Amino acid sequence: MPTFTLSICIPTHNGRCETLNALLSCVGEQCTGLESTAVQVCVSDNASNDGTEAMISKLQADYPVPLTYFRFDQDMRGVRNFLNVVDISDAEYCWLIGSDDMLPPQSVAKVLANLREWPGLSGMTVNKLNFDKTLTILVGPDHDLVLPTHPNYTRPLYGIDIADSLGISFTYMSSHIFHRDAWQNVVDEFGRDRLCSTRHFPHTYIFLRIAEKSSQWYWLSDYCVIQRMDNFCILDENENFLYEYADEFTHDLIQVWNLTDTPSIVKKNLLNRLYFIFWNPISIFVYLSDPRLSIRKQISMIRNSISRFGGLTKFWFFTFPILFMPTALCRALMHLLDLTDRWVPVRRLLHWLRSVIARWLSFLRAGSRSTEDT
């Protein structure tokens, strides 16, 4: 029998000491006064040398709940580190939280209350807010196409509706609470080395596999986690080159979807939403206007887009023609937009248009789901 109800599992690495300290302080405040078996906190450190070990040691002396710390002596890469933090936990449920994320007030209490109200859940997904890196500027909630239909409605999810509702949300690690035994079963079945080959989204694969085998997941519409939007590891690795970020994100996510037994109709729905988020005509124009995009990369973009989205009619009507625009022309047009933006806010109008279309597509999703349910 696990000792605790919930383990807050935090994988960390070098350079995160300050944000980890802020997160642990936040979690500690929310756990003060809880019963002794409610929560434990586990930290797995991927060989940092930034003072994390000393900081943790100082906190452990009077932390309000058990605080377990493990440190690798050498870099084991990210996947093995977050697998390890679940390994060292001793709770029925785990909540993986990135060491640069934060929790709004009462988040731990809300999660615990819902776990107790809905015993036997395989997992729970919470809503999130997005801020800038300093946590001083609110960016807003997630894109409508990332969220389940009717995102303000807290409810259980069943069967294929779990993957259909959360298949893109599962890419963000910190929004999900899961049954530890279900996680470990998938890890043991698939293999740790093989999970490492999925690169950026092994957790997405695990969540989807848990969902396939589960009878019930839960969507909690309350905002229970905060993400720093300009702190994406994939974007950082690609030096803020938006095309390469979108291409790598898309490649890895489709690869994970194809490794699961998710029904083809759900995969098609997810692909439609992924197309709109990253490969709509406005996004393609932005990618083409980047001076770092070479002719070779443009050709690769065309080939990959056809391979991934050729089955979508909207791709051929709206995106395909844009893919062949000369990059020099796109850069010139973008420069012109920058010059005129102070008088005519074209960029903001384009962003508004994209948001309106997203809401319209979300409305269609909701209508389609309602029809299927009746």
In terms of pTM, does the model score above 0.85? yes
Q: Estimate the crossing angle of helix 264-278 against helix 295-309, to 10 degrees.
A: 150
Residue in 225, 229, 16, 13 with CA at minimum distance from that of residue 134: 229
What would the DSSP string read from start to end of 291-332?
A: TT--HHHHHHHHHHHHHHHTT-HHIIIIIHHHHTS-HHHHHH
The pLDDT value given to residue 346? 61
The model's pLDDT over 75-98, given as tens digits with 9 standing for 90+, comes to: 998 899 999 999 999 999 999 999
The residue count of the chain comes to 374
Identify the residue with better confidence: 177 or 139: 177
With contact defined as beta carbons under 8 Å apart, do 81 and 44 qualify?
A: yes
The model's pLDDT over 140-165, given as tens digits with 9 standing for 90+, comes to: 899 888 999 889 999 999 989 999 99
The pLDDT value given to residue 145? 87
If you average pLDDT over every residue of the chain, what do you get?
90
The Cα–Cα gap between 43 and 10 comes to 5
> Which one-letter amino acid corresponds to residue 367?
G
The pLDDT value given to residue 197? 86
Least confident span in 30-44, 269-283, 316-330, 349-363: 349-363
Q: How confident is the model at residue 241 (pLDDT cuts 50, 70, 90)?
A: confident
Q: How confident is the model at residue 370 (pLDDT cuts 50, 70, 90)?
A: very low
The domain limits of the chain are: 4-231, 242-373
Residues in a beta bridge with 226: 102, 129
Run of H or E including 357: helix 346-373
Which CATH superfamily does the domain covering 4-231 fall into?
Spore Coat Polysaccharide Biosynthesis Protein SpsA; Chain A (3.90.550.10)
Dihedral of the alpha carbons of 369, 164, 273, 250, in degrees to the nearest 10: -170
The pLDDT value given to residue 144? 83
Residue whose pair of structure tokens reads 């977050």 in the numeric block: 82
- Between β-strands 176-179 and 123-131, what pairing exists: parallel, antiparallel or unpaired? antiparallel
Q: How confident is the model at residue 215 (pLDDT cuts 50, 70, 90)?
A: confident
Residue in 283, 316, 148 with CA at minimum distance from that of residue 221: 148
The pLDDT value given to residue 365? 54
